[in-house]
Amino acid sequence: MNSSLVQYCQEKQSIIDQALEKYFPDKNVYPPILFESMRYSLLAGGKRLRPIMLMSAADAVGGEGIRYIPVACAIEMIHTYSLIHDDLPAMDNDDYRRGKLTNHKIYGDGMAILAGDGLLTAAFEAMLQQENVAADVLLSVVREIATAAGAWGMVGGQAVDLISEGKNIDANTLKFMHKAKTGALFKAALRSGAILAGGSQQQIQALTQYAEWFGLAFQITDDILDVVGSQETTGKPIGSDIRNQKVTYVSLYSLEGAKKMAGTAVENAVASLVGFGSKAEFLRHLVQYLLTREA
């Protein structure tokens, strides 16, 4: 990314981090261990990619993304809950996330599960605190995010991931799994931002197409990083897919084949934004960045 876009990300990250901090104070809470566990993972850093995408989608359709911080924070809470549960011994059994020990390594499996549960439900509280949005519009956004996070989206994709370990799944199953597990929340973030800001149906549809291609490119490059990346830059163990006997885009199509697929997905994502002007420049550069990302 160029310097102005890096600055855009940093400014939005700072705003989101400050807002998240206010949702979970570290004093006068009971039981303190639960809130400490929730804060540990939520405030551990991270790119804040999904809430930034929500705000940038609102900007792209002519709105002001900064107005939708409660919904943006909710998306990050849902994402963080999914990471806590994903890292558990019964799932991927990972020891590190965002460069730190995973939640269950610090607080134990039971408290980690409850921390995830707490973040998921807090997300809906946060969304309902959104002001200056018509009730029917906010309701449609809450429904959008709930569907993306649940059994029809992220949870369903995770279930397919779990039952597919050690099996030679085909390309269609792999595509469905990651479209649901990874792509659904990206799509919900982008569509929600556009809906909140009053985007037209044409704009929402274009951003939906962008989200589909972005999610695919993100997952392919994530699979590539699991082979060629390093724990120092990604903040999580490398080679976990191989250890867990998971089929990935790299194992199915080869490293070079996966790189070529990622390039095509990025080109299609950029093409989806042809009807947008300079206000969508961040989204164009963001998807192009995936081809060179190290984390």
Over the stretch 20-75, which tens digit does the pLDDT of each residue have? 999 998 889 999 999 999 999 999 988 999 999 999 999 999 999 999 999 999 99
- To which residue do tokens 């556009």 refer? 194
Pair 59, 65: CB distance under 8 Å: yes
The reported pLDDT for the residue numbered 240 is 73
The reported pLDDT for the residue numbered 5 is 77
The reported pLDDT for the residue numbered 25 is 86
Is omega for the bond preceding 25 within 30 degrees of 0, making it cis?
A: no
Q: CA 96 to CA 240: how far, in whole Å?
A: 11
The tokens describing 136, both together, are 């029917």
* Nearest partner of 223 among 200, 239, 209, judged by Cα: 239
The reported pLDDT for the residue numbered 45 is 87
Per-residue pLDDT for the chain (295 aa), expressed as one digit of tens each?
677 778 889 999 999 999 999 999 888 999 999 999 999 999 998 899 999 999 999 999 999 999 999 999 999 999 999 999 999 999 999 999 988 999 999 999 999 999 999 999 999 999 999 999 999 999 999 999 999 999 999 999 999 999 998 898 999 999 999 999 999 999 999 999 999 999 999 999 999 999 999 999 999 999 999 888 776 766 666 667 777 778 899 999 999 999 999 999 999 999 999 999 899 999 999 999 999 988 7
Q: CA 181 to CA 286: how far, in whole Å?
A: 20
The reported pLDDT for the residue numbered 99 is 87
The reported pLDDT for the residue numbered 233 is 66
The reported pLDDT for the residue numbered 241 is 73
The reported pLDDT for the residue numbered 193 is 98
pTM over cut 0.75: yes
Q: CA 80 to CA 291: how far, in whole Å?
A: 24
* Nearest partner of 102 among 244, 227, 237, judged by Cα: 237
The reported pLDDT for the residue numbered 55 is 97
* Nearest partner of 190 among 84, 272, 110, 106, judged by Cα: 272
CATH class of the domain comprising 3-289: mainly alpha
Name the residue ranges covered by the structural domains of the chain.
3-289
